[in-house]
Each structure stands twice: as C-alpha cells, then as structure tokens.
Amino acid sequence: MFLIKRKVSFSAAHRLYSDALSDEENRAVYGKCSNPNYHGHNFSLEVAVKGEPDPRTGMVINFKTLGEILEREVVEQLDHRNLNLEVDWLRGVVPTAENLVRAIWEILESKIPQGRLHSLTLSETESSSVTYFGPHGGTT
C-alpha cells in the first residue's frame, strides 16, 4: 500500500466562538483564540491518498493532478479569506482545526480521481496540527 502526499498552504483569518456557549464560556474554552477581531495563520494542509500504482504509469495519482485539486478546492476557497464569514461550506462551523479538517475532507473526498483519500493533516503553526482519517478511517 502506498500513500501519496501533497502539501499546500493558505493564509486566513479566523476566531473560535461557539453560539452554543456563553461569552464567558467562549473565553474560558478558547482563550485569546476567541478574540472578536480575529487573528490568523499560515495554515498548511497535507493530503494523503492511498492506493496501488497503475502498472502502466507507475503512479497512484500524479502529484500535479493532486496539487491542482488542492489549489482549486482548498486554496482558492480559503486563501486570504475570513474562515468565519466568507466560505459557504464553513457556515455555522466553529473553525477549530478539527472542524476545518473535517469540512475539507467532505469537499475533497469525491474529488480524488485515483486512489482514495486516506487522511488530511492541517497545521495551524509549526508545532500544532490535526490529522483526520475520515468518518470511517482510523488507526489503532
């Protein structure tokens, strides 16, 4: 089994605030991440596609194809945007790394033409990231 991995990045603003929580609870849970005027990150997204190489081409999926899908479906949608206000498919979502990566999974899953989406890793900073294996995936 092979995993093909490709990384892109986008710069966006967000704040963590849940309507299900009071203002006080929001501050307690999210701290300075709940700043009403937003903050931002250079988010990095690494997608992993699993599969076997096509014997004719020797590839599971072309890095270039994968890069173009990520550019179109993720970077063009999220780069230089406000993740709380400006993205249709994030409406009503508290933009934690966990919720973002699950929403990105739903966007990407059906768009992968060869192989199958295995996992997504979204990094907020060089020291903080979330990996998601999909609704049915996982590791022991």
Active site positions, annotated: 33, 80, 124
Please list every residue from 52 through 91 that binds a second copy, using CB under 8 A: 53, 56-60, 62-64, 67, 79-82, 85-86
Task: Phi first, then psi: give them for residue 81, nearest 5 degrees.
Answer: -120, 165
In three-state form (DSSP H/G/I as H, E/B as E, the rest C), the secondary structure along 65-124 is: HHHHHHHHHHHHHHCCCECCCCCHHHCCCCCCHHHHHHHHHHHHHCCCCCCEEEEEEEEE
Please list every residue from 95 through 134 that binds a second copy, using CB under 8 A: 96-99, 101-102, 118, 124-133
Q: Is residue 4 part of the contact set for a second copy (CB under 8 A)?
A: yes
Question: CA angle, corner 130, sides to 23 and 49, nearest 5?
Answer: 140
- Kindly tell me which residue out of 73, 93, 107, 114 binds a second copy, with binding defined by CB under 8 A: 93
Contacts with a second copy, residue ranges (CB under 8 A): 1-9, 11-14, 16, 18, 20-21, 29-33, 35, 37-42, 48, 50, 53, 56-60, 62-64, 67, 79-82, 85-86, 93-94, 96-99, 101-102, 118, 124-133, 137-140
